[in-house]
Amino acid sequence: MTEETPGFEEKPDVPSGATSDDAEPKAAASEEAAAPAGDANESAGLVAQLDQVRTALGERTADLQRLQAEYQNYRRRVERDRVAVREIAIANLLTELLPVLDDIGRAREHGELVGGFKSVAESLETVAAKMGLQQFGKEGEPFDPTIHEALMHSYAPDVTETTCVAILQPGYRIGERTIRPARVAVAEPQPGAQTVKAEGTEEGAAADDKDNGGPEEG
């Protein structure tokens, strides 16, 4: 049997040209080199995910904005249609009341609007005015074919243009919408009135020139 020498331990085999002290720094360096590479890969992955999230967020935001715009357009269309339907309904109702209002106007002209009938008539006119009904048409105003309907025609020497000389039935409108034109009698200038007037003006100018010694010579 061989005897082991106390105090001595066997050392691991070390390759030639290298010691155990040299192996440890190399292993540490390898670990340090691997760590930055892993961090770079992880950062690149996070950046890619962030880009995807931003793209998805942009798409969702655009979808939300488009949906909100469509909803606002829908609300405006509904409101516009509601107002239009209301105006049509009111116009139809007031159109049916126009003959009654005409009767009230004729009764007022003849002095027959008295007593309880007068109160009822005035209340009806007040309600119609609150609903937007407006009366138009006055004697002496120029004839406008867009709001007047000529039922009678004549000539008059004291007018210079086609003029409403009598209101046979007043016109009515709601806002800018005419529901009945004013029915009127119109008068036009005499066919030769303007010619005579123009000749008279020329004669007057010639007389003035004569009184002043005639026109100045250049």
Mean pLDDT over residues 182-192, rounded? 90
Provide the CATH topology of domain 134-209.
Nucleotide Exchange Factor Grpe; Chain A, domain 2 (2.30.22)
Say what the pTM is. Answer: 0.56
- 26-52: buried (b, 16+ CB within 10 Å) or exposed (e) per residue? eeeeeeeeeeeeeeeeeeeeeeeeeee
pLDDT in tens, 70-87: 999 999 999 999 988 988
10-31 pLDDT per residue, tens: 555 555 555 555 555 555 555 5
Rg (CA), the chain: 51
- Using the predicted structure, report yes or no on whether residue 1 has a pLDDT greater than 70: no
- Map out the domains of the chain as residue ranges: 33-131, 134-209
